[in-house]
Chain A
Amino acid sequence: MSDIAPEPAHELRADGTDPVEELPPQVLPLDAWHRAQGGRMVPFAGYTMPVQYEGIMAEHLWTRDSAGLFDVSHMGQLVIHGPDTTAALEVLLPGDLRILKPAKMRYSLLLDEQGGILDDLMVTRLDAADPGIPFPMDAAAGDDAFYMVVNGATKYDDIGHLREHLADEITLNHLDDRALLALQGPKAVDALDRIVPGVAALTFMTAGSFAWNGHALWVSRSGYTGEDGYEISLQEDAATAFAEAICAEPEVKPIGLGARDSLRLEAGLPLYGHDLSPDTTPVAADLGFALSKRRREEGGFPGAERILAERAAGPALKRIGVIVDGRQPVREGAEVVDADGSVVGHVTSGGFAPSVQAPIAMAYCPPALAESGAITLRQRGKLHPARVVPMPFVPHRYVR
């Protein structure tokens, strides 16, 4: 038998390379804790991380039903503040940051000059004068301050890109001494509010300062599984005790990165380096919601001309979701073929979806072909008919 050490898809760099292949994997704050919980550790985005504990299927279904704790400390946590930071960031990404109120967050994209996607990220406006915020900040920045979470594999390139384009007066701090945990699932609110009272009052895409056992937490109601849930940023020396405490709640189990990948796929959420890259624009990636109305009208973001033209005329290829006939998974790299058998697109993520109980995939495909409702995929020479379906594959259950 071949290939018997499965590895989950993780984000790749913008040039498609994988930090795993170059440097020895680094160790994250919860490494020993994962091992003690029975986590199977694999190289992941430059770190050693748990791919699974009891099994991907069981962990996936547990998260959809109850609550799962994910260690996402490999991701980059940045704080950016200083004079005119809002305007400076709007030069680099297409979201409307001006209307973003303190403690509110949104999904956005770092774009290159051609409108290609350098990374996808979450950005939150901070009120630097709020003494509760656990990040080092100059209060004089007022509310021209942001907390940003970027992908692990791309974080050093992102920092370089940001530093290169932001004025020297703007401070960029990489919070590399903080862990990031995601608690996801319908019962996440019950478990977390029990040990961190008050978090239940947050609504989707809102964040705030909280305390647990004397440790300052930055908690947002957000995540990347399609479920209700939270992301919790905390000092790395508090991470193990916190993970221990939250997993002592009956609703919570630790969940590996294998299930994180299958959960985000079912939720229709793209993974950087696979479904998104510098070769894809926000329009092709079907992330039009990340192009805010004012920004579309005013332009002034990287690649605006191309992106707005593409938005008007339609992209050559578009990210779509499909449910594959039969039971065999069709994975990244499989081809989309037309009636003549010519390759017209590719699968960028795919696998067996535990909650759908069928193989599902994301693919880039000509919009006209997708509109027919049925496409054909080819993998290792075998043809797989597939139905084009709206994403998400599993309804989002955010608490707004």
Chain B
Amino acid sequence: MSRFFTQEHEWIEVDGEVATVGITEYAAGQLGDIVFVDVPADGRELTKGDDAAVVESVKAASDVYTPASGVVIEGNAALTDNPALVNEDPEGGGWFFKLTLRDDSELGELMDEEKYAAYVARL
């Protein structure tokens, strides 16, 4: 399994053909208290960069972009009742959605963990 990151602070973890997407700990910290998450419906076809989900904190609404193209197979239902899970465990239980990947080569354009850490350190 390997994990990649976008400049917009999404993470994507790839396990074979299936990938899981969420927002990074840095992003969750910047947003503050998350009060609402809207995840994409099963079967929705996404193209890399599409608005895939909405996350709202006490003060701001943000779109979450999909880091790769594919078909949504599951949204994280736990976030409907407990959006604060994104603050508590952003890179684990606070994942947003899973999708089957259309094109692995898109992942090559993303940052690995080390590059993302260096990127955040400069912000």
Contact = CB atoms under 8 A, between A and B. Distances in A.
B118 interface: no
B55 interface: yes
A327 B9 contact: no
Nearest to A262: B58
Given A2-B63, A331-B61, A352-B56, A55 B33 contact: yes
A8 interface: yes
Given A327-B83, A328-B56, A331-B61, A4 B30 contact: yes
Interface residues of A, number: 26
A25 interface: no
Interface residues of B, number: 25
Nearest to A3: B62
A7 interface: yes
Max chain A C-beta neighbours (<10 A), residue from B58, B62, B63: B58
A1 B63 contact: yes
A56 interface: yes
Given A1-B9, A4-B9, A57-B33, A351 B62 contact: no
A55 B87 CA distance: 11
A385 interface: no
Interface string B23-40: 100010011110110100
B8 A1 contact: yes
A352 B36 CA distance: 9
Interface string B89-119: 0000000000000000000000000000000
B92 to A, nearest CB: 18
B105 to A, nearest CB: 23
B4 interface: no
A4 B58 contact: no
Contact of A4 (B33, B38, B54, B62): B62
B2 to A, nearest CB: 21
B75 to A, nearest CB: 15
Contacts of A102: none
B8 A351 contact: no
A6 interface: yes
Nearest to B38: A328
A134 interface: no
A56 B32 contact: yes
Interface in B1-49: 8-10, 23, 27, 30-33, 35-36, 38
B47 to A, nearest CB: 17
A265 to B, nearest CB: 11
Contacts of A354: 33, 58
Nearest to B81: A327
A329 interface: yes
Interface string A23-44: 0000000000000000000000
B68 interface: no
Nearest to B54: A328
Contacts of A262: 58
Contacts of A52: 32
B64 interface: yes
A329 B9 contact: no
Given A1-B10, A3-B60, A327 B55 contact: no
A100 to B, nearest CB: 37
Contacts of A331: 61
Nearest to B80: A327
Contacts of B23: 1
A361 to B, nearest CB: 13
A5 B31 CA distance: 7
Contacts of A56: 32-33, 57-59
A258 interface: yes
B35 A329 contact: yes
A336 B75 CA distance: 30
Contacts of B63: 1-3
Given A328-B54, A329-B58, 10 more contacts: A1-B55, A1-B64, A6-B58, A6-B59, A7-B60, A51-B59, A56-B33, A58-B33, A329-B36, A351-B59
Interface of A: 1-8, 51-52, 55-58, 60, 258, 261-262, 327-329, 331, 351-352, 354, 359
12 contacts: A1-B8, A1-B10, A1-B63, A4-B27, A4-B30, A6-B60, A7-B60, A55-B33, A258-B59, A329-B36, A331-B61, A351-B59
